[in-house]
Structure 1
Amino acid sequence: MRRVSAGFIILSMLTMGNVTINQVKAESMVASYQSSIGIVIDDQEKYFQPAPYLYRDITMVPMRGIFESLGALVTWNAEDRKVKAEKDGQTLELQIGSDIAYKNGVQVKLGAPVSLKEETTMVPLRLVSESLGAEVAWVKESRTVMVTSKKVIVEDRPSLTIEEAISLATNHSYNLKNSLAEVERSEEIRNHAGQALDFIPEENGNGQAEGIVRNVFEGIQQADIARQVAQRQVKVDQEVLEHQVRQVYYEILQKQRELDVAQKGLEYANLQKQLTEIKFNNGLASQFEKNQVEKSYKERTDSIEVAKKTIDESYLKFNNLLGLAKEERLLLTEVPVFKKLEDLNIDFHITKLLEESPTIWNLQQSVKLKKLGADLYTFNNQSKEPYSAKKIDIEKAEYTLSNAKLELDKNVRSMYLSIRKLEDQYMIMETNLAKAEEGLKISQINYDTGLGIQADVVKAKLSVVELKQKQFDLLVSIDLLKRTLEKPWIAGGSNSAQ
């Protein structure tokens, strides 16, 4: 039988202890802290064991708790009784019993010696915190030390708003340039059709002049409609382009959040892997369990690479829309804001859309042209289609128009119901997120007071990050659907049937 190490016994006590006893112990510790010195780090109250205390007006705190709360990596050299903390390229070294520290090799006076209390390294809060790049303030009235970590600004890329992105895409769009050229072309055709009126011969009694007049008039009507179609198409192409830019802009933000989830998941998988290896080495985990954890770790590692690849793909799509270099990675920071859809008279809204829809308008003009062709029909011209065929063309055009109206009605009602359903899901997600964040606070308190392990905190953080990512996905869907509800034709591109 394998011998169980002392380290694993301690680990087992932390992970398998009675929950009720731990809760009572945590509550008593929290109560005792309320009458002593409080520590707040980045707006989160922290509870450390042993409790912070004053030494000659200098606040002393547990080394590992305060350093890890500030995001530092802590290593302990038992032989030399030295401790080392690293964060953002900064290094701080301390030794038990000494009031001298070394920051990046430079000597720093601490004001109080590093000491041991209940087998825990206690260090001066202010100089240690400031050495790690944090701001420290003392609130005398509440006997609270406020610590604010200085966030390292990694993103030094130029940022880009959605409106700025739309402006770049508008200047680059081939479709828009093509639509504007078509407007000019339709103007030329309309002018040419109008000039034909100057060359109509006089009536000689055989009906030839009348037929020419009918043809010219029909040509002018067709040219007028073609010109209006071209003018309207410019507006449609602009609206579609704006929607496409917004979609891809949000898509990049979504993929970046998926990467955050993948990274946090890998952190948790790594801790699980370490715990399982300890259990396995002490005979308390099977080879199967070890293999499963290692498989999960590999899957988490692979998911990060997949997430990075999808971000690159989305950026490539975005850059193509805007006419940017494919390697460009502008910083996108504009996010949609949740706002419930105002009460809407859906019948009135659909009536309004039927009047505004580009496709409905185009089909209405098609019906007009078919009717005009029938009205201008001359029975003595045997080379043309029979009049009955003209009537059938009118019926087909009217049927197509009627069907398009029904489709628009159905799609708009469906979108409206989808938005309401997504809004309800968002509110439920808001509640779940609040519970997850509360669970994270409890896990952090348990960890700070020695009643929990780091894996519990990371797991709770993972739950919060996952819920935030799902909530953001809902927010994007709601925002895009609300915009599509206002202009259904933007969803299917410039040739949309809405």
Structure 2
Amino acid sequence: MRKVKVLLTLALIFFVWMIISGSAYAAEESLTLDQAIDLALKNSTQLKQDQFDIEKNTKIQKELYNSIENFSPLPYYSPEEASLTSNYKWAYYNTRLAEKKYEYDKNVVTAQAMQKYFDVLNAQNSLKLAELNERNESLTLSQILSKQKVGMATDLEVTQAKVALEKSKVSTTAAKATLENAYNSLNDYLDLEPGSRPNLVSNILYSKLENKGLDFYINKALTERLDYWAKEEAAEVSEQVVDFAEIWKVGDIESQKAFLDAAETRETVIRDVTKAYNDILNLEQTIATLEESLTMAKKALKTAEVQYAVGIITYTDKLSAETKVLQAQNALDTAIYQHRLAVTSFPLLAGLNSGAGSSNTQSDQNTQQ
């Protein structure tokens, strides 16, 4: 009996150890950007809902098709058959729309996962800079207090240094809170354990947009983007079901409105893609400028290190040069993250949000009749 109790105790200890070690491992394990995207796609409730919608609309479409097949062939449509035929065409449209929306939402989930991943990286960079600034202000205060003892610094200078140090501490506290919030948001989105702190990979590769010309991306968007596809296809279906409308004139007006709506959406797509295209090219120029700034800051730091070694400048001066390098690196990293996200989203998500391209209201009503 005693042996059984010992074995149970050991088993319990092992189980608890596995839980604790597993949580610690999850908190310390590296998480690449691709892994974060895979987790987001796997755990997305929106994508699960989209899959359900595809199954639901497919079922409705099949039921309507079977109902139409049960009618005897006649040279004309009966009112009931006309209604079913109209509803079937909208059901077929809704099934395809649900499939398109699933692909669109995969792009949205990918972009949002990237954004949250980059939010953590930016927050980490901001915290490093805030801590370095706080360290710099602390050293500055120490130097001023030393000078005050020998009459080389005034009370006002001491007060100003203390205020600067307190401000830097506030900034550090705020940066820590921002990082905490960014991690919490990432954990929620990826369905990670609360409090997890995976080590993110900050070395995000930068490559320019494979520039095939604006017209190429506009045509791609007009062919594949959900919002325009939905409006264009809805217009086509509206035209097809005009003859099945209870009042032909009403159906014809609805069809004309649908085509006008599609034309307006087409112009919106062109504007969105054009703006996003120019933004990416401008961002690439900005990145080139920031790379030059970082190179110059690193050269200045090397000079400062040599000057500090031979006693020309103080440690605080050298620390100031380190701060400028970190500032330049942070600015470059942020721009690269923005560029990576912009290129990934381009052109299919240009100007869109997660609610774009939802099911056409008229088509839903027709299907439910």
Normalised to the residue count of structure 1, the TM-score between the two structures is: 0.63
Higher mean alpha-carbon deviation, 320-329 vs 167-176, is at 167-176
Query: Retained in 2: the 8 A contact 1:240–1:494?
Result: no
The answer to whether structure 1 residue 350 and structure 2 residue 218 are counterparts is yes
Query: Retained in 2: the 8 A contact 1:162–1:334?
Result: no
Distance between the aligned counterparts of 1:352 and 1:325, measured in 2?
39
- Of 272, 288, 297, 1:436 maps to 297
- Of 249, 271, 277, 2:139 maps to 271
1:273 Cα shift?
A: 1.0
1:344 Cα shift?
A: 2.8
* Inter-CA distance 343–183: structure 2 relative to 1 (3 Å threshold): closer
Structure 2 residues without counterparts, runs of 5 or longer: 1-25, 359-369
Match of 1:339 in 2: 207
The answer to whether structure 1 residue 283 and structure 2 residue 156 are counterparts is no
- Of 386, 389, 393, 2:254 maps to 393
1:368 Cα shift?
A: 1.7
* Inter-CA distance 496–284: structure 2 relative to 1 (3 Å threshold): farther
The answer to whether structure 1 residue 408 and structure 2 residue 265 are counterparts is no
- Deviation string 1:92-134 (CA, Å, 9 cap, x unpaired) is xxxxxxxxxxxxxxxxxxxxxxxxxxxxxxxxxxxxxxxxxxx
The answer to whether structure 1 residue 240 and structure 2 residue 130 are counterparts is no
Higher mean alpha-carbon deviation, 286-295 vs 312-321, is at 286-295
The answer to whether structure 1 residue 161 and structure 2 residue 39 are counterparts is no
Distance between the aligned counterparts of 2:261 and 2:69, measured in 1?
37
1:320 Cα shift?
A: 1.0
Distance between the aligned counterparts of 1:340 and 1:230, measured in 2?
33
1:327 Cα shift?
A: 0.7
Q: How does 1:20-419 map to 2 (within 5 A)?
A: 157-200=28-71, 210-377=78-245, 384=246, 386-419=247-280
Distance between the aligned counterparts of 1:492 and 1:177, measured in 2?
19
Report SS of the residue matched to 2:209.
Answer: coil
Paired letter, 1:165: A
Higher mean alpha-carbon deviation, 243-252 vs 232-241, is at 232-241
Paired letter, 2:346: L
Paired letter, 1:359: D
1:156 Cα shift?
A: 8.5
Distance between the aligned counterparts of 1:286 and 1:397, measured in 2?
76
Paired letter, 2:83: N
Q: How does 1:449-460 map to 2 (within 5 A)?
A: 449-460=310-321
| Greater fraction of residues in helix | 2
Match of 2:367 in 1: none
* Inter-CA distance 185–193: structure 2 relative to 1 (3 Å threshold): same
Structure 1 residues without counterparts, runs of 5 or longer: 1-154, 378-383
Match of 2:338 in 1: 477
Distance between the aligned counterparts of 2:272 and 2:350, measured in 1?
11
1:487 Cα shift?
A: 2.3
- Deviation string 1:346-386 (CA, Å, 9 cap, x unpaired) is 01220121011111111112112221232334xxxxxx4x4
1:489 Cα shift?
A: 5.6
Match of 1:54 in 2: none
Query: Retained in 2: the 8 A contact 1:255–1:310?
Result: yes
1:296 Cα shift?
A: 1.2
Report SS of the residue matched to 1:493.
Answer: coil
1:202 Cα shift?
A: 7.5
Query: Retained in 2: the 8 A contact 1:489–1:496?
Result: no
Match of 1:126 in 2: none
| Greater fraction of residues in strand | 1
Query: Retained in 1: the 8 A contact 2:273–2:347?
Result: no
Report SS of the residue matched to 1:363.
Answer: helix
Paired letter, 1:427: A
Query: Retained in 2: the 8 A contact 1:240–1:490?
Result: no
Report SS of the residue matched to 1:292.
Answer: helix
Paired letter, 2:170: D
Return the structure number with greater relative CO, CA threshold 8 A, min gap 6. 2
Report SS of the residue matched to 1:340.
Answer: coil
- Deviation string 1:70-113 (CA, Å, 9 cap, x unpaired) is xxxxxxxxxxxxxxxxxxxxxxxxxxxxxxxxxxxxxxxxxxxx
Provide the aligned length of Structure 1 versus Structure 2.
333
Distance between the aligned counterparts of 1:164 and 1:431, measured in 2?
32
1:394 Cα shift?
A: 1.9
Paired letter, 2:145: E
Report SS of the residue matched to 1:488.
Answer: coil
Larger radius of gyration: 1
Distance between the aligned counterparts of 1:326 and 1:319, measured in 2?
6
Paired letter, 1:431: E
* Inter-CA distance 335–400: structure 2 relative to 1 (3 Å threshold): farther
Over the matched positions of the two proteins, sequence identity in percent amounts to 21
Distance between the aligned counterparts of 2:322 and 2:55, measured in 1?
59
Distance between the aligned counterparts of 1:483 and 1:166, measured in 2?
12
